[in-house]
Structure 1
Amino acid sequence: MQTRKHERIATEEAYAPVKVLNEYRRLLEGGGGDRGFRSLWTYYLKNESVHTNFLVDRIQDLGERRLADMDRLGIDRQVVGLTCPGVELFDVPLARDLAQLTNDRIAEACRRHPKRFVGLAAVALQDVEFSVNELHRAVNELGLKGVIINSHTRGEYLDDPKFEPIFAAAAELDVPLYLHPNTPSDALIGPLLDGGLDTATFGFGVETGMHLIRIIFSGIFDKYPTLRMGVGHLGEGLPFWLFRIDHYHGVHGRTKRYPFRPDLREKPSYYLRNNIWLTTSGMAWEPAISFTRSVVGEDRVIYAMDYPYQVSAEEIAAQDALPLDDKEKKYFFETGARQLFGIDA
């Protein structure tokens, strides 16, 4: 067997403490949460199958079971963050407690296995001030390497000015914000849920791709030019649309179609190529990976698995077989993740 010349760092790997899963169960039993949450977590917590049992067993583990899977698959490190929908569906006091608990548990795992796990902080964006303070605690005291946001917060998006402090904190701390998918909000989910398309098949991409382009169009990267973001699933379709996005951004800017929208210093594609890293989570498909690398740049596409939602040795083999030389492969599997998350060698 040929010896690898790089680590494999998987950069969008999910975790949920037992207490969070129990609170998801409680919310379901009380008929709470939005329609997307009920669709997603009724499936995983109320249905017995090989797939759902595998996920529930693995997602709450940050120890030997997860490490054994990583060893079996050839994953050297995971970047771990709280799974969707995070804690934003809960009342504020509970959400705060669960975010802090999650961060403490992830930090503990990183201390036990410093060469295997890298942690992202959970926040509770119902309380922005708490979230900023918790991000500072998670980075400065716990050693976590960024913040994960599971897309919308009760139907609100990060381009709302009230959420700007979380971007400001990430920029100040020099850590990335990872935008993770969530099921579409109640205002968006109807036709997707009716067609059985509300989660990974299509709904995650609709929700998160829209969210990302809203963030870009908000002008946040002009305010914080050093801000870094990560997004999975090869950018949720946006690389395919970049030509048209740039074109109509220019047309609508010249004709003042949306006067409420700020003028950007650059074309939208600029920010996707300079501030945002795209990971391959769930997208182990050479045509899509190669196209995305050609559009946004070879230094903006890095490896992820999407454990434990999508776990396959064949998908790793497919990405090992990408037509990349040794230097490119090292960046794709290792160096890019180190740059994005500030991971020491």
Structure 2
Amino acid sequence: MTSPARIDTHHHIVPPLYRDWLLSQGETAGGLPVPTWDVDTDLAFMDSQGIQAAVLSVSTPGTHLGDDTEARTWARKVNDYAAEIVKDRPGRYGFFATLPLPDVDGALEEAAYALDQLGADGIILLANHRGTYLGDPSFEPLMAELGRRGTTVFVHPAELPGPLVPGVPPFAADFLLDTTRAAMNLVLSGTTTRHPDTTFILSHGGGFLPYAAHRISLTLEGYQQITGVESVMHRETILAELRRFYFDTALTANPDTLPTLLTFADPTRITFGSDFPYATPEISAYFTHQLDAYPLDNHQRTAIDHRNAEALFPRLAR
């Protein structure tokens, strides 16, 4: 069988010093222990799953734990680390740069450094940064700059800004809501329409966005009318904007979820995702196997495996 030559757009890096820092702060990744990471183990996993190249990203909680200066320092450290990995293996890796949001000035400075000097392939943003969602007016200077640059932005969930449910870890269900909230917020705030050259990739198949998109579009139209918004966004416009997102298959490729994603999303806007190493090799392989077993035609399969990602990251094309 020919290798699928997958390009993985949801693939995490855990710089060792960054991991040590998170552990010293008592942090987890949405309830998950922060895993160890090294290049050799990562490449072995990629090879086992037919992944030709991966775009690396730092997962939640990012680098902002409450202090702007500390967040800027760690964003620079993890970006420099990721850039070195890419430099050594440019055919196997790209990376999404980490920004110290909600520090907007620091984020603008780090975005310029990462994109212009390190050659980052895009930016990773958490769905909410310490309770502030991406469409918030305070983030508009950053969104305008990313739009001006035509940046690819990977949106990854974080812990919800609210109390936890005992026995329900954030990564199990809250992450899906967080991504869905972020997508709704980006559309309703007008961010996606103001900055159409920004490409947003939503994690985990967009949370439950594809499943609930029609309900979301109709209810948001009604919500605007009730609250007296001066210019109401029509339901069809909301739905069209929601379809403009990209969606990765991380922890999503299965016979119950894929049909909805494939029906809702633009077929050129679905990319392969593994969520390694936060998803263990066994968990990630389970979903990859489900994707391989799903009855896609050759065009659909190659589009998801690599062609759609190649359009975003042409230097990673085989």
Q: Match of 2:15, as an amino acid?
A: P
2:9 is paired with a residue whose SS is: strand
Alignment counterpart, residue 49 of structure 2, candidates 42, 67, 73: 73
1:57 matches 2:36: yes
Match of residue 265 from structure 2: 296
Deviation at 1:219, TM superposition (A): 0.6
1:38 positional shift:
5.7
The residue type equivalent to 2:33 in the other structure is Y
- CA distance in 1 between counterparts of 2:117 and 2:67 reads 26
Identity of counterpart residues, as a percentage? Answer: 26
Cα deviation, 1:250-289, whole Å, max 9, x if unaligned, reads: 3344xx2123585337522211222x10111111212311
Which consecutive unaligned segments of at least 5 residues does structure 1 have? 29-36, 46-55
Confirm whether residue 283 of structure 1 aligns to residue 252 of structure 2: yes
What residue in structure 2 maps to residue 271 of structure 1? 241
1:303, CA displacement in angstroms? 1.1
Work out the CA distance in 1 between the residues paired with 2:315 and 2:62.
24
The CA deviation at 1:39 is 8.1
Counterpart residue number, 1:52: none
Q: Given that residues 128 and 166 in structure 1 are in contact (C-alpha distance below 8 angstroms), is that contact kept between their aligned partners in structure 2?
A: yes
Between 1:214-223 and 1:316-325, the stretch displaced more is 316-325
Deviates more, 1:77-86 or 1:132-141: 132-141
Give me the TM-score of the superposition, normalised by structure 1.
0.84
Amino acid at match of 1:76: Q
Among 193, 203, 212, which residue is 1:232 paired with? 203
Q: Cα 1:97–1:321, aligned 2, differ >3 Å: closer, same or farther?
A: same
Rounded Cα–Cα distance in structure 2 between residues aligned with 1:262 and 1:25 = 47
Q: Which residue of 2 aligns with 1:53?
A: none
1:20 and 2:18 correspond: yes
SS at match of 1:222: helix
Q: 1:38 to 1:233 in 2, by over 3 A?
A: closer
Q: Check whether the contact 2:28–2:61 (CA below 8 A) recurs between aligned residues.
A: no
Contact 1:184 1:198 in 2 (8 A): no
Structure 1 residue 106, shift from structure 2 partner: 0.8
Q: Which residue of 2 aligns with 1:111?
A: 87
In the alignment, what sits opposite 2:109?
133
Please show how residues 47-196 of structure 1 align to structure 2 within 5 Å: 56-58=35-37, 61=38, 63-185=39-161, 188=162, 190=163, 193-196=164-167
Please state if 1:340 is matched with 2:312.
Answer: yes
Q: Secondary structure of 2:51's partner?
A: coil
Opposite residue 10 of structure 2, the aligned amino acid is: E
| Unmatched tracts of structure 2, length 5 or more | none
Q: Please say if residues 159 and 215 of structure 1, whose CA atoms lie closer than 8 Å, have aligned partners that are also in contact.
A: yes
More strand by share: 2
Deviations 1:80-115 (A, max 9, x none): 101101012141111111101111111111111111
The Cα shift of 1:153 comes to 1.6
Per-residue deviation, 1:344: 4.5
Q: Distance in 2 between matches of 1:261 and 1:293?
A: 35
What is the root-mean-square deviation in Å for CA atoms of aligned residues?
2.0
2:176 aligned to which of 205, 225, 230 = 205
| Number of residues of Structure 1 aligned to a counterpart in Structure 2 | 313
Question: What is the Cα deviation at residue 342 of structure 1?
Answer: 4.7
- Distance (Å, rounded) in 2 between the aligned partners of 1:129 and 1:336: 32
Pick which of 116-125 and 219-228 moved more. 219-228
